[in-house]
Amino acid sequence: MLECVINISEGGNPSQLSELSAELGPDLLDLHSDADHNRSVFTLAGEDPARTLTKSAAAMFDIREHHGVHPRVGIVDVVPFVALEPSTFGEAIEARNRFARFASEELGIPCFLYGPERTLPFIRKHAFVDLSPDFGPAQPHPRSGAICVGARPILIAYNVWLKDQSVETAKRIAKTIRTNERRTLGLQVGPHAQVSMNLIDPDVTGPLEAYDAVAELAPVDHAELVGLVPARTLARIPRERWTQLDLSGEKTIEWRIAERNRRLSGAGD
């Protein structure tokens, strides 16, 4: 099975997000929205729901009206395909390329590929400057911008909110704890400072290590999981830390897929 974790540049309109969610049915494994980031993360099962969501979001939103603290290149900003067992990384690459061809040919949205070729941060820095799209027009779509379409291993998006600290402190912490396995940003989110992280190799650096790295440098208000975690990541964290780290058994990929399968089985009875 392939998982697709689509990042949409809209997080402050619950009615529109509910409308998008309703179209996805059981294939929507998780939805996380943040009004200050003005961003929503849809965790999906399979390729077809990714196309459904992209069509609807591209028709519904306009990048020219978007404001938010998170970097973005388009309305449908990031579309990574992730191979879950027994699927292979090669199958994720093929799904990525099919999706980029679909979005460029049917919707006219330029697409930049990431994965073995280049990283997502590289695209954010170079898109339309000295890097041309891999598929589609050479210029951003007037309403939709562009899409970063990737194939990657499982990663964990994770935020740690600081207690009574400035954004300068968050930026300093982000720089201090940044590694190859832990991509970090220090952000001002509403009245609060946040260290926002992508944990690229959760078997090496997971939520526990990320939280504790921040807590060593500043008081922490709370942690926030964005999306889901692999069950193996949760299993190596002491259960007494789960609540502090915003984790639970129901927030694992495996639990949500099993729940999806139960719903599909029930729908077919």
DSSP bridge partners of 220: 162
Distance between CA 26 and CA 77 in Å, rounded?
23
Residues labelled catalytic: 70
- Identify which of 156, 152, 239 has the alpha carbon closest to the alpha carbon of residue 205: 156
Reference 52, options 71, 32, 26, 72; nearest CA is 26
* Token code pair at residue 184: 């970090």
Start-to-end CA distance of the chain, whole Å, equals 23
Can you say whether residue 129 is alpha, beta or left, with left for phi > 0 and alpha for psi between -120 and 50 degrees? alpha
